[in-house]
Chain A
Amino acid sequence: MLQYIVPATGLLFTLENILWINLGVFIGSVFAAIPGLSVILCVILFLPVTYSMTAIPGMMFLLGIYCAGGYGGSVSAILINTPGTPHAAATMLDGHPLSEKGRTKAALKIALYASTFGGVFSALMLLFLGPQVARVAAQLGTAEYFMVCVFGLTIIAGVSGKSMIKGLISACLGLLISCVGSDPMTSYDRFTFGISRLYLGLDLAVCLIGLFALVEIMAKAEKRLDRLNLDTTQIKDDGVITKAEYKRMARPVLLSSIIGVMVGIIPGTGASEASWFSYNTAKNMSKHPEEFGHGSVEGIAAAESANNAVTGATLIPLLTLGIPGDGTVAIMLSALMINGLNPGLSLFTTQGDIMYAIMLGLILVNIFMLLQGKFLTSLFAKVVSIPQEILTPIIVIFCFAGAYSVNENYFDVGVALIFGMLAWILRKLELPPVPILLGLVLGGMTETNFRRALLISNGSPKIFFSSVYCIIFLVLILLAVGAIVRGKMKERNAQKEE
């Protein structure tokens, strides 16, 4: 590990990287602070920008957006009682009441410090655990890799929507879309319908702009245009956090960071689950549980450290196995692969300097998030009330410009529009879009391993049950399906009882 740290540090500390990190952190904080805009939308919009960059600045920019998104969501949650991102909902429970007590700045500071701690803790876990998991991953063959892909897809399909069956249909659709273009093994074209531009396949960024961004624009039809009026005078308190409060926060912050890392490693789970779980744990363990929901500093600290502790942990299965922990990270996988960085042990050995630069960069991202949070919070607070009339066309222009810039043609913009319409229909049919995203990202890897394994076994499917790892993953898949189905049934029964 140490042999990579020194060259990685040299690669990381360049003016270009520092600028991209800061730009990413700024954009991520702003996007997450605005209710209705999500981190995933932000990463999709700016993914085409990274296509012309090399691996390190590209990943630093996207990681900046991703990590700052974890903190940015808390700004609107504290200020206007509306979480900027879903995972900031737990922060809102205590953040806004504390703000109403005239301690807005203190609430924002607690959220910022806890987020930074969670983020740095998670980055360190990635730095130490990543290479170890990669060593285990190196023992996996093609059949095992196929089972890993199925495992990731099954979990995400299961937890993404109300119905696991619908999630699986979405995943199949995503995998099928990834088949469009030339066959990865024979180069024959597939499902191109005579359109030569489809020979190279559909670009992930273009599909995602339609599936996640343009559909959100169409969804404006479902929502009322609410005015979010922010009283900026309310953030002019002294923002002092007492020693006793720091002491009270220490335990929930550490515990929630550990929970965040553990939750983040499991594919399909995410920051929302981590923050709610940590919030409840902190409440149960607190000496002052009665304060929770009324402006508890422990509540804010627990929720925020947990949702940022997920950021580095989700990268562990991504970088070692190629299995993204959540939708946003799945997009980052494509940014990695564009630069020829394929997940696995080789990433930590042959391209170790780049990989360690990215992992160390995650620590740097959190430090810049702290600095920007300290000095620019009042600016982030102001963007909370940017009117939708202004935001909506700007997002559309970004979507179109992003889709066009991928290959510099309007064909891609048309494809994005078609995917937007498809996503609208899927929304009406209550099919979750995240499994489609995962199918698109994992499609190539899943198919290649599936076919290679069958080639090795001369067409016999027994190969998928032949090794210990295959059996382990099969058992994990069955256990996960069982747990998801049980959970959904419990949810349904509880709804019926209500």
Chain B
Amino acid sequence: MKQWVEHFNGRMDAWGRKLHEKEIRIPIDLVTGLVFALFALMVLLVMPDQVAISEKDVVNGRAFPTLLMTVMLLCCAMLIGKEVYKLATKQPLNWKVINVQVEAKALAILGILLGTYFLSKWTGLFVVGAVFCCLGFLLYFRCRKKSYYSITLVIAVAIWAAFRFVLGVGF
């Protein structure tokens, strides 16, 4: 078992080192401007379907969201315009470096969170998800101290019990 763990950790380290070297550079302001301009346009597009109004209304329920999306579009136009101007005048753009290893680790954490959610939901027992969460994170951190496992599990059950029996939450 110990050997298997060492072997697994070794492979993960090697994989991590490879990923650590991989980086993605994105022109952050340009991308943000484009993403949110598209988002604002989409919201404006779905608005007639999603916001019912009465013809008699002087100011209807679409007025405020439309105002917000107009402001958002203006902000996006400013962001994009600024970056396009930089491109035209050959000034350096605002770049953001995204490390693939960090994103892979974040995905692993997201996996633990989703696992906790689905386990709790499917079993109907929050405590099952809580135990999975503890084990998942301790394994993620490659914790070898047995005491940490027992402490965390005891606290997890205690939190569930406090919500269940003290605060009366039904899970």
Contacts and interface: CB of A to CB of B under 8 A. Distances in A.
Interface string B126-168: 1001100110111001010100100110011001100100010
Most buried by B among A429, A454, A455: A429
A388 interface: yes
Given A404-B169, A404-B171, A172 B58 contact: no
Interface in B91-115: 96, 98, 102-106, 108-110, 112-114
Interface string A47-68: 0010010000000000000000
A398 to B, nearest CB: 6
Interface in A403-428: 404-405, 408, 410, 413-414, 417, 420-421, 424, 428
B15 to A, nearest CB: 15
A183 B169 CA distance: 30
A465 interface: no
Contact of B133 (A220, A396, A450): A396
A30 to B, nearest CB: 14
B138 A188 contact: no
Contacts of B51: 183, 188, 190-191
Nearest to B63: A451
A172 B155 contact: no
A191 B31 CA distance: 25
B52 interface: yes
A172 B69 contact: yes
A188 B156 contact: no
A404 B116 CA distance: 13
A457 to B, nearest CB: 9
Most buried by B among A176, A387, A390, A398: A390
Interface string A215-228: 00111111001000
A168 B74 CA distance: 10
B12 to A, nearest CB: 14
Contacts of A408: 169-171
B55 to A, nearest CB: 12
A189 interface: yes
A114 interface: no
A191 B46 CA distance: 9
B89 interface: no
B102 A390 contact: no
A415 to B, nearest CB: 11
Contacts of B138: 389, 393
A420 B156 CA distance: 21
A398 B28 contact: no
A430 interface: yes
A319 B160 CA distance: 35
A190 B65 contact: yes
A166 interface: yes
A121 B35 CA distance: 47
A235 to B, nearest CB: 24
A169 B37 CA distance: 10
A221 B109 contact: yes
Nearest to B139: A389
B38 interface: no
Most buried by B among A169, A393, A401: A393
A393 B120 contact: no
Contacts of B129: 400
A100 B28 CA distance: 43
Contact of A389 (B67, B141, B170): B141
A414 B159 contact: no
A52 B96 contact: no
A459 B60 CA distance: 10
A219 B170 CA distance: 31
B159 A450 contact: no
Nearest to A403: B117
Contact of A393 (B72, B126, B152): B152
B72 to A, nearest CB: 4
Contacts of B156: 393-394, 397
A184 to B, nearest CB: 9
Interface in B46-84: 46, 50-54, 57-61, 63-65, 67-69, 71-72, 75-76, 78-79
B43 interface: yes
Contacts of A163: 29, 79
Contact of A191 (B50, B54, B67, B96): B50
A392 B36 contact: no
Contact of B28 (A185, A421, A430, A447): A430
Contact of A190 (B50, B79, B130, B141): B50
Contacts of A176: 43, 65, 68-69
Given A176-B65, A459-B58, A389 B96 contact: no
Given A190-B50, A389-B138, A166 B32 contact: yes
B32 A190 contact: no
B86 interface: no
B120 to A, nearest CB: 7
A362 interface: no
Contacts of A189: 52
Contacts of A52: 167
B109 A220 contact: yes
B20 interface: no
Interface string A290-304: 000000000000000
A405 B110 CA distance: 21
A175 interface: yes
Contacts of B106: 218-219, 221-222, 424
Nearest to A179: B65
Contacts of A414: 117
Given A396-B113, A454-B63, A455-B59, A429 B28 contact: yes
A389 B137 contact: yes
Nearest to B106: A221
A186 interface: yes
A186 B61 contact: yes
> Which 7 interchain pairs have the tightest Cβ spacing?
A221-B105, A221-B106, A393-B137, A183-B61, A454-B59, A172-B72, A405-B169
Given A176-B68, A401-B159, 7 more contacts: A165-B75, A169-B76, A172-B69, A393-B136, A400-B129, A405-B167, A424-B110
